[in-house]
């Protein structure tokens, strides 16, 4: 991955519903503004030339996206980073306390030290799709939780819980229907989804999640995209000790959906199924074999989007590659 040139300033922004806490390095300047349009304008006016600054925000389930989009539109480079990486960095630098102001300082320090690569920020229709997918995930999680509670719910309350489940299932169906309509109405989104759906194992949830939560698909090489999602194995060696390689980090939402798609593909997709059986025959544990299949599946999907080529033409070329 190409190393980014140093920026003149690194802005760490801790995003809450009410406020934006901002810290700059190397000057140490601080600012707290309302998490509103006027607050973002004040932030932009306070920190010099946007093209010379890198803004670092944590991924917080979508709360950060409107701010990130506004700052990107103003000319800032924006990096949305994994909260776990930032927390590990904070512990490594001895910052154990946690407040909004400290978090902003940590994000600025993280940006200055690590220099995360800025990524495209969803705009307009892409942002709406992302928010709709986020709402879909919330509904699925709530439905699962209510169904789990149902088995221990007293009979006097069961009808209420069942009614709540039915209401959420109806809401989920509406979200899915709206997503489908909007994708069909957009030539670019429709073409991309149709391309991904040529791969057996990739359903509507997987294709839409890849398009919305992984906009880098088709723009990075296979090693970079695997590392970004978190399916690239990392070495764990020390001296003469050779540890088992393991995957770590990445985009958990994308990885979870890719896992389910790959699981389906090991049964329905000839290329992935053959690779999976070959690994099992070689003595690989099922979990290891499935992770390797996720890596291979993602690699082929990445090539499909990159070249605008359906599965039937790309997969045979990759069927012998690991």
Closest residue by Cα to residue 181 from 221, 158, 208: 208
Stated as kind and residue range, the H or E segment containing 15 is strand 9-15
Mean per-residue pLDDT over the chain, rounded: 87
**Could you tell me the pLDDT band of residue 3, with boundaries at 50, 70 and 90?**
very low
pLDDT tens per residue, range 22-56: 999 999 999 999 998 889 889 888 887 788 899 99
Superfamily name with CATH number, domain 9-114: ATPase, nucleotide binding domain (3.30.420.40)
**Could you tell me the pLDDT band of residue 4, with boundaries at 50, 70 and 90?**
low
The conformation of residue 234, written as its DSSP 8-state character, comes to B
Q: Please answer whether residues 280 and 192 qualify as being in contact, where contact means their C-beta atoms are separated by less than 8 angstroms.
A: no
- The pLDDT value given to residue 50: 82
Helix/strand/coil for 57 = strand
Task: Please state the rounded mean pLDDT for residues 86-105.
Answer: 89
Query: Residue 60: how many CA atoms within 13 Å on its side-chain side?
Result: 16
Listed as own residue / partner, the contacts of 245-251 with beta carbons closer than 8 Å and 24 or more positions apart are: 247/291, 249/82, 249/84, 249/85, 250/82, 251/213, 251/214
Q: Please answer whether residues 45 and 51 qualify as being in contact, where contact means their C-beta atoms are separated by less than 8 angstroms.
A: no
Q: Please answer whether residues 196 and 209 qualify as being in contact, where contact means their C-beta atoms are separated by less than 8 angstroms.
A: no
Which residues, in sequence order, are bridge partners of residue 80? 57
- The pLDDT value given to residue 240: 47
For 155-304, where are the E strands, in sequence order? 237-238, 241-242
What are the extents of the domains in the chain? Answer: 9-114, 125-185, 195-236+245-318
Is 90 exceeded by the pLDDT of residue 305? yes
Q: Sort 280 into a burial class: Cβ within 10 Å, 0-12 / 13-18 / 19+.
A: middle
Task: Give start and end residues of each alpha helix (H) in 115-202.
Answer: 125-150, 155-185, 187-196
Closest residue by Cα to residue 58 from 93, 89, 92, 36: 89
If phi > 0 it is left, if psi is from -120 to 50 it is alpha, else beta; for residue 92 that is alpha
pTM of the model: 0.67
């Amino acid at each position: 991955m190409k190393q980014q040139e140093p920026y003149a300033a690194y802005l760490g922004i801790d995003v809450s519903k009410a406020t934006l806490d901002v810290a700059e390095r190397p000057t140490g300047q601080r600012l707290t503004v309302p998490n509103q349009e006027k607050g973002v304008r004040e932030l932009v006016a306070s920190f010099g030339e946007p093209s010379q600054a890198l803004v670092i925000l944590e991924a917080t389930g979508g709360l950060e996206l409107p701010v990130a989009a506004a700052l990107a539109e103003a000319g800032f480079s924006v990096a949305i980073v994994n909260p776990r990486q930032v927390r590990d960095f904070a512990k490594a630098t001895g910052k154990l306390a946690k407040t909004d102001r400290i978090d902003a300082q940590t994000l600025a320090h993280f940006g200055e030290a690590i220099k995360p690569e800025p990524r495209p920020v969803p705009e307009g229709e892409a942002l709406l799709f992302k928010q709709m997918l986020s709402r879909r995930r919330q509904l699925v999680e709530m439905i699962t939780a209510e169904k789990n509670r149902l088995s221990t719910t007293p009979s006097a309350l069961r009808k209420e819980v069942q009614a709540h489940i039915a209401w959420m299932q109806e809401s989920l169906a509406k979200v899915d229907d709206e997503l489908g309509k909007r994708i069909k109405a957009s030539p670019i989104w429709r073409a991309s989804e149709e391309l991904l759906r040529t791969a057996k194992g990739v359903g509507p949830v997987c294709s839409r999640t890849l398009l919305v939560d992984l906009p880098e698909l088709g723009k990075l090489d296979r090693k970079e995209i695997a590392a970004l999602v978190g399916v690239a194995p990392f070495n764990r060696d020390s001296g003469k000790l050779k540890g088992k390689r393991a995957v770590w980090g990445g985009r958990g939402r994308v990885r979870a959906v890719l896992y389910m798609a790959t699981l389906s593909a090991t049964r329905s997709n000839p290329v992935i199924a053959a690779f999976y059986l070959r690994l099992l025959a070689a003595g690989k544990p099922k979990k290891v074999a499935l992770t390797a299949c996720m890596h291979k599946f993602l690699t082929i999907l990445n090539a499909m989007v990159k070249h605008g080529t359906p599965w039937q033409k790309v997969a045979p070329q990759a069927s012998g590659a690991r």
